[in-house]
Amino acid sequence: MSRWRRGVRDESGVALVTVLFVGAVMTVTVSAAAFIAVQEFRAANRDRGATTALALSEAGIDRTMQWIRSNKTTWRYIVLSGCDAVGTVEGVSYSPITLNGQIGTGTYSTTIRRADGCQPLPVEIPSPTEVQQLILTSVGCTNNTVGQPCPTGSAKRLVEQAVAVRARPLPVGMSGNRVDARGNPTFQDMVVFARGIVNTRAQITMRGIDPYWEKSDFYPCVGAQNAPLCFPGDSDSTGDMPASIHSTDRIFLSPNGRDEHPPHPNCTSAQYTWDGSATGADFAEQGLPPAPPCPAYPNSPPTSLFTDADADRLARDPRLTEEDHLFFKQIAQQAGLYCDDYRPSAPNACTKAGITPFNVMGEINNNEVAGLGNYFVVYIEFPDGTDPQANMLNWNVTTPAPSNTCNTTAATNMSVLVIVRNGGFEPSQDFLGAVFAEDGRFEIGGGRRVEGTVAAQFIRTRGQPTVCNSPRWVESMPGVFLQVTPLQWSEVDR
């Protein structure tokens, strides 16, 4: 008899086929899942790389905005960056400024250019009082080396930030609480601001026109006022305020206390016409005729009165905020000269270009600033509890030094910022830059010349020194005087 009954099929191979089919389905499913996982992992990596590159490019924007204020270059190079592609401005070619930086394994490269592309090409260097718009273009790149093009395979992002740059409301010129003029100083092309008594005005020679301040800054129109009660803002960028002294207290002509005002401007000579003080009179507003021989408006001011409100508007006190001090202290520590607990009669362990200790004793001379370049910050702190009027920082630097101080309009490629806390500043050599010694005194004598801005608590002169503002200093204004306001931001590669 046969082993198999008739009509019964042999199905012994079905299980094997089923197993193979299920295995194939599982293989496809697992492969698909693995493929999707790999794709998602790659996408996540790309997203992470793009996010990192975006962060790098944004860091480049932030650091460039800080760099503009750090006194690494000056106003004219910043606001004319990239104009060399169009032409020269007053005979100078301005290449685009590019800042490169490394953050971890990534880099940024940020370029500064004028928003208008230098078209039309400026015929002169813009005044810092006029807002200038710039475009900061920043490329962030992962897995790169600073200064190198972004390599293939690395994530890269490109962003742009529009910013507005202009001068901050700081007193450009000379400002102090009290001015004591001994000898025969000359204040040239400069407005002097004082919160206290000015003594002795007759010994001071004021000459020239301030290249920064306009008459309309001092005599603004109020409400429905019209000339001759005010000076409408003019359209040039050269400044036109005559060199003059403005005090919220009294201006004494001589040591015997004789007051320059009141009630009219002192028009015995052009030396005094534009002075203003708390004892002056708003003679035009009060219907008082100016005392002869005052020239007629617009060659004479509408008032000889200078009030606390005027000073608050024009000459902020204190000039530097605590945030400013912290910022510039860090700049001095990283790339300039910083001394804490400074004692001129003892060795001081200071920080120079990020290296501590750097020994400094006595005056600041060529050795202390050697290697810092032509644009740097010096920040000196005298010990707490000592007399700021007795503490003096002596400046005896001959290299770098300005050429033809107060005697030329030729462009300068240097700018020095000196900040002294709890002490004062005295130059033994000519100086170009800005000095902030708001706790102490600024003292200058002999035939020394200082070009730029001076802010101190007490200003004293002796001998025949010259302190001046100048077009070239205004054009080379350091970053401490600048404010950078972010405007529109965009991701260019999105």
Q: What is the pLDDT of residues 80-128, one digit of tens each?
A: 999 999 999 999 999 999 999 999 999 999 999 999 999 999 999 999 9
Whether the predicted pLDDT of 78 surpasses 90 = yes
For 174-192, how does the pLDDT look when each residue is reduced to its tens digit (9 = 90+)? 999 999 999 999 999 999 9
Task: Please report which confidence band the pLDDT of residue 311 belongs to, taking 50, 70 and 90 as the band edges.
Answer: very high
**Predicted pLDDT of residue 43:** 47
Examine the pLDDT at 225 and tell me if it is beyond 80.
no
Residue 201: band (very low, low, confident or very high) from pLDDT cuts 50, 70, 90:
very high
What is the pTM (predicted TM-score) of this model? 0.87
How much of the chain exceeds pLDDT 90, in percent? 68
Q: Per-residue confidence at 1, pLDDT binned at 50, 70, 90? A: very low
Domain extents in the chain: 45-168+485-491, 174-482
What pLDDT, on the 0 to 100 scale, is given for residue 128?
93
- pLDDT given at position 455: 97
Mean pLDDT (whole number) for 389-409: 93
Average confidence (pLDDT) over 310-320: 91
User: Tens digit of pLDDT for each residue in 273-296?
Assistant: 999 999 887 665 555 665 556 777
Whether the link from the prior residue into 478 is cis, omega within 30° of 0, is no
Say which residue, 9 or 309, is predicted with more confidence.
Answer: 309
